Each structure stands twice: as C-alpha cells, then as structure tokens.
A and B are shown apart, each in its own frame.
Chain A
Amino acid sequence: MSAWLEARISEQIGNFQLDMSFRLGREIGVLFGPSGSGKSLTLRCLAGLRNVRSGRIALAGRVLLDSNAGICEPAHRRKMGLLFQNLALFPHMTALENVLFGCVQIEHEKAVSIAREWLGRVRLESYEDRYPSQLSGGQKQRVALARALAADPQMLLLDEPFSALDGPLRRNLRRELRSLQAETRIPILYVTHQVEDICALGDYVFFVEKGKLTGSERIEDIMKGRGRMRFWKMMGWGNLLEGHVRLNTAGCSSFHWVSGDMALKNVSGFGPAIAFVRPDRVRFLDPRMPVDNELSRNVFSGKIEEVLLEGGVVRMHVRTDRGHWQIEKWGTGSHAEIFHPGKEVRFAVPPGAVELIFIKESKEEESIESVII
C-alpha cells in the first residue's frame, strides 16, 4: 500500500493518552473501536482542530504537522474534509449555499456550477433552495457529503455520520459513499463502532482501544477468511460468534452457534455467518418482570466475572454455561454497585441488535460474498 496519509499522533487529555500511528493509501480506512477509545479525537487531530502535543502528519506528500520541525498547518489549509456526526450544516444557508461554501478561491459562477453538480451527484438538485431544517435526515447527510467533497479535499474524514440513521437508509448512503469514493478516488478515514460499517465500507480496518492502535487488517483478508482469527483477536471488544443462519418453515430466521441459538430480525439470507453483538446493545432483564415476546428466544443467564469502570461506561464480562459475553452500560458508579462480580444476571439480545457477516466458503478458496443484516 503506497501511503497517501502517514500519521503519528501523541496527545494527552487529562488521564487519557492517545498514541496513534498508521498509514493509509488512496482507499477507505475504518477506525473501529468502542466509544471513548479515541477515534473521534484522532480525526480532530488529523483535521487540525486540535493541537497535537507531538507527532507528524503527512498527506499526499505535504507535511501538515511535524512537532520536531515546528510545522503545524492550520485546519483551513490542510485540505482534509471532516464530516461530523451531527453533520454541522449551516442552518442559515440553503443546501446550495452550504455546498457553495466549500468552493473556496473559485470564481463565483464556476463555484455555483460545481456546487450544483455535487448536489446532482447526491440526487438533491431539486432541493437546492431548502434550508437544513426543511430536509430529512438522509437528505441532510447527502448535503453534508456533497459539501465536504465540493471543497476538493485530499482526504475525507467521517465521524460516524450515519449513526443516527436506520437500516435501509444507512445501507443506501454507505453504497453511495462507496461509489463516490470509487469515482473521485478521495481517500476516506471512517470512524465507527459498528461492525457492519467495516465490512460494507472499508478497504482497511484499524482497531483502536484506549487510545492505542491494537491492530490493523485488510478487509479483503477478513472476508476471505485468512485474517478472520486475527480479526477475532484484534476486535477485543464486542461479542463475535461464528455459526449458521437458518430459516425455519415460517420464514423466521435464527442464528445457531456452538453455545446456543437466537432469533434474528429482517434477515434475508442463510448459511455460515459471523454474528456481532455490540456490548451496549445487550439488555439486562429484571428477574421479576415478564420478558418481552420479541426477546423471549434470546434470553441468557450467567454470572458476572468482572466489572470495569471506564469513563462513563461500566464494562462487564459475564460467563454463561457455554460462553462468555461482554455487556456495557452507560452510567456512573451506581451501575458498578448494582452489577458486581459474582452476581447472577439474566440478559437478552434484541434480535435487531445482531449484525451478521455472511460467509460463503468454497473448496478452492474461502470467500465471503456479502455482508450484513
């Protein structure tokens, strides 16, 4: 991989230490890790929105930061577009004016035609006079994407821009982003803590935990099975289960693995698959309360083995009869008091929380055909 971006960043905020070092070619890289692991901070450091204590960042042969040489390009000269989680569309400007804002140092008429062209590419040409408050969630995402690309960046940083969207819309936007990247060849660094984003978007995945890069893997290798075991190891976070998706006669699907089975929701395929369940999607159940019908097939019991309080998150490791689960709760010390090691707990995995990576293995070569629920 010829490096388009080379970054080495060291930054400290209170007790949190960020130490990242990676290279990326003209492709899509995904920064994957749990909340609070430093993914968004890394993007802010790259974009120049945060002063970095020490490090070196080079993009397309330009040195943007070199703490030893005293070089630090300001954010507006870095040519690094950043798509924020809440999109940051300018509320006092129309969609066209928002996109136009990124066309700097271009003659006005030409800038307008570039902005219109970008709005056209994201299929919003007829919405150019609307203000952000008059656009739907998906339309806002498209305007933000068009605006970032119209600024002609040498790199695009995306901070979970699709996290607020539901399944189908999210998939569509991912597809569009993928095709825009293939068209423009603008490299993208995408932050996510959803495993489906890795497989659907990325060429390369970087695993981040507690401010450190714990590993990296080419998505193709994960898909072909070569890196799957490494992938398991590097994930370090979340519940990853290898098994089969089966369809019953009623057309409902379920996931079967060595330790049990659970119901799935809105799954069209079947066959060998990897299921991923984010620890924060697992729900504890009150033993005195009846269980919701939807959850009834996905209830498990176990004993808490370990409780870790990290920032605002309580991380728990729960041992069941034949397996091991990671569960997270947002909150403060009160959770740690309720959930202590040795406590017997009952928990459920909502069917909609199971993300699937379908595996299609042939005899000649292992390959994975497609992705995701």
Chain B
Amino acid sequence: MERALIISLKVLAIDIPLLTLLGGGLGWLLARRDFRGRELLSLLVQLPIILPPSVLGLYLLFALGHIKFFREAGFLFAFPAAALGALVPSLPIMIQASRAAFAGVDRELEEAALTLGRGPWSVLFRITLPLARRTLLVGLALSSARALGDFGVTLMVAGNIPGRTQTLPLYIYGQVESLNFAQAHIAALLLVGVGIASLCLVHRLEAGAHERLA
C-alpha cells in the first residue's frame, strides 16, 4: 500500500501546481476577458465533468497514442499518464472555482489600485489574488481531492501497474479483486480521511469568506 500511497502523493505533487496554474489561468481568462469563442471554451473545459470517465479515458488514450510527442515520450501506461489521468477530470472544478473567484473581485478595486500607480502585476498579487484567495483555495481543495480519488480515467490511460501507475483508488480495486478486504479498507479509510479533511477545510474557508464580507 505504501507504494500506491507514494504514487498518489507524487500525482498530487504534480497536479496541484498544474491545477493552480492552468485552472487559475483559464478561470481568470473566462472571468475577465471578453473574446470570441469564450462560451465555447467554457463549454469545452466543463465537458470532463459530465463525460463518463471511460469515455474521457478512451479519448485521452487515443490522443496520447496518436500524438507523436506523447507516443515517443512514452506517456501511455506510465506515471505521466497517471498524473494526466487524474488532472483532466479535476481541472474543470478548479476552473469553475477560479472563474467565480475572479468574477467576485470588484473591478473598481483593481482600477483604484491602477490609478494609485500600481502596475498590473502588483494589482494581481496585492489586490486580486488576496481577495480571490478563499474561493481559489476552496477550488484547489476540491479539485485536489478529486484528482487523488480518480479511478476510471487513470485506469484507461495509465493502467493498473503496481509501483508505476497504481494509485490508491486502483490499489483498493486490486485488493478487492484478490479478496484482500482488510488492506482495501485501510486504503479506503485513508481516502475517506483526506476527503473529510478537504471538506472541513472548504467549510472553514467559506465561513471565513462570509465573515470578511459581513
């Protein structure tokens, strides 16, 4: 189980920064920029939420298999595919949360900061991000929990190879298949613990956000 836990943690170590940058960036783009195709992009990035994991996994499998770069880099059925498999279904959660977070920051505050002589980056780091922080963290907690718990997409693109691509959810599946319920329960309990911790964090952050507004 330790190996599965380490792989899951490694997946998180790669996916959390990617969720922050990609999810935060796309959320900001959708909330703050008016461009042609914005609604289409918004629909596309939300698609992984409603598609069954098997369908998503199938398309990813074909994409990784057909794109030369990924094929030659040996992405399929290797650790990078496990990280990607966990990232794709969790990214929409982060995008949605960051879109709401940035849309919730009063534009006049940013404009006031600009007229006070602060450049756009200073405004982003001193005004926008601190004010959007709580909702961004809620999104990050929820999407990370989703990434940690991914089963279907990871199985489709990375397989279930112990020590290489077997994450905790896949480990549980493997243990149940070999009727080793005790180990499956321990791993499941671990994931339930992480889930509860994430929800508690979300709860606290949301309560804090309301307090600040009051």
- Most chain B CB within a 10 A radius of its CB, from A79, A80, A84: A84
User: Is the pair B111, A75 in contact by a Cβ cutoff of 8 Å?
Assistant: yes
CB contact between B114 and one of A49, A86, A92 (< 8 Å): that residue = A49
B6 → A minimal CB distance (Å): 38
B109 interface residue, CB < 8 Å from A?
A: yes
- In chain A, positions 49-102 with a C-beta closer than 8 Å to chain B are 49, 74-82, 84, 86, 88, 90-92, 101-102
A151 interface residue, CB < 8 Å from B?
A: yes
- Residues from chain A with a CB closer than 8 A to the CB of B130 are 92
Residue-wise interface mask of A (101-141) relative to B, using a CB-CB cutoff of 8 A (1 in contact, 0 not):
11011000000000000000000000000000100000000
Complex Cα gap A47–B117 (Å): 11
A244 interface residue, CB < 8 Å from B?
A: no
A93 → B minimal CB distance (Å): 9
- A91-B131, A92-B131 are known contacts. Are A49 and B113 too (CB-CB below 8 A)? no
Chosen A-B contacts, 21 in total, with CB atoms closer than 8 Å, are: A47-B115, A49-B114, A49-B115, A74-B114, A75-B111, A76-B115, A76-B118, A77-B117, A79-B117, A82-B112, A84-B108, A84-B111, A88-B111, A88-B112, A90-B109, A91-B131, A92-B130, A101-B113, A105-B117, A147-B116, A151-B116
User: Is the pair B115, A104 in contact by a Cβ cutoff of 8 Å?
Assistant: no
Complex Cα gap A102–B115 (Å): 9
A187 → B minimal CB distance (Å): 15
Name B's A-contacting residues (CB within 8 A). Answer: 106, 108-109, 111-120, 126-127, 130-131, 212, 214
Chain B minimum-CB-distance residue to A43: B115
B120 → A minimal CB distance (Å): 8
A349 interface residue, CB < 8 Å from B?
A: no
B121 → A minimal CB distance (Å): 10
Count: A-B pairs, CB below 8 Å: 64
- In chain A, positions 30-54 with a C-beta closer than 8 Å to chain B are 47-49
- Residues from chain A with a CB closer than 8 A to the CB of B127 are 90
Complex Cα gap A72–B106 (Å): 25
Residue-wise interface mask of A (230-264) relative to B, using a CB-CB cutoff of 8 A (1 in contact, 0 not):
00000000000000000000000000000000000
Interface contacts beyond A76-B119, A92-B130, A151-B117: sample of 8 additional A-B pairs, CB < 8 Å, sorted by A = A79-B117, A82-B111, A84-B108, A90-B109, A90-B112, A104-B116, A104-B117, A151-B116
- Residues from chain B with a CB closer than 8 A to the CB of A48 are 114-115
User: Is the pair B116, A91 in contact by a Cβ cutoff of 8 Å?
Assistant: no
Complex Cα gap A157–B214 (Å): 30
Q: Size class of A's contact patch?
A: 20 to 34
Complex Cα gap A102–B122 (Å): 12
User: Is the pair B108, A88 in contact by a Cβ cutoff of 8 Å?
Assistant: yes
- Residues from chain B with a CB closer than 8 A to the CB of A47 are 111, 115
A148 interface residue, CB < 8 Å from B?
A: yes
- Residues from chain B with a CB closer than 8 A to the CB of A88 are 106, 108-109, 111-112
Name A's B-contacting residues (CB within 8 A). Answer: 47-49, 74-82, 84, 86, 88, 90-92, 101-102, 104-105, 133, 147-148, 151
- A82-B111, A88-B108, A92-B212 are known contacts. Are A102 and B116 too (CB-CB below 8 A)? yes
B146 → A minimal CB distance (Å): 29
User: Is the pair B126, A101 in contact by a Cβ cutoff of 8 Å?
Assistant: yes
Chain A minimum-CB-distance residue to B117: A104
Complex Cα gap A76–B126 (Å): 14
Complex Cα gap A84–B131 (Å): 19
Chain B minimum-CB-distance residue to A99: B116
- Residues from chain B with a CB closer than 8 A to the CB of A147 are 116
B90 → A minimal CB distance (Å): 28
B124 → A minimal CB distance (Å): 12
A92 → B minimal CB distance (Å): 5
A277 → B minimal CB distance (Å): 31
Complex Cα gap A42–B106 (Å): 21
- Residues from chain A with a CB closer than 8 A to the CB of B109 are 88, 90-91
- Most chain A CB within a 10 A radius of its CB, from B109, B113, B116, B126: B116
- A92-B130, A92-B131, A101-B126 are known contacts. Are A76 and B108 too (CB-CB below 8 A)? no
Complex Cα gap A82–B108 (Å): 10
A160 → B minimal CB distance (Å): 13
B105 → A minimal CB distance (Å): 10
User: Is the pair A101, B131 in contact by a Cβ cutoff of 8 Å?
Assistant: no
- Residues from chain A with a CB closer than 8 A to the CB of B117 are 76-77, 79, 102, 104-105, 151
- Residues from chain B with a CB closer than 8 A to the CB of A75 are 111, 114-115
A-B CB proximity, top 7 nearest: A88-B112, A102-B116, A75-B114, A104-B117, A82-B115, A88-B108, A151-B116
User: Is the pair A148, B116 in contact by a Cβ cutoff of 8 Å?
Assistant: yes
- Residues from chain B with a CB closer than 8 A to the CB of A79 are 117
- Most chain A CB within a 10 A radius of its CB, from B106, B112, B126, B127: B112
Complex Cα gap A74–B114 (Å): 9
- Residues from chain B with a CB closer than 8 A to the CB of A92 are 130-131, 212
- Residues from chain A with a CB closer than 8 A to the CB of B116 are 76, 81, 101-102, 104, 147-148, 151
Complex Cα gap A82–B214 (Å): 26
A150 → B minimal CB distance (Å): 8
User: Is the pair B112, A84 in contact by a Cβ cutoff of 8 Å?
Assistant: yes
B19 → A minimal CB distance (Å): 24
- Residues from chain B with a CB closer than 8 A to the CB of A77 are 117
- Residues from chain B with a CB closer than 8 A to the CB of A104 are 116-118
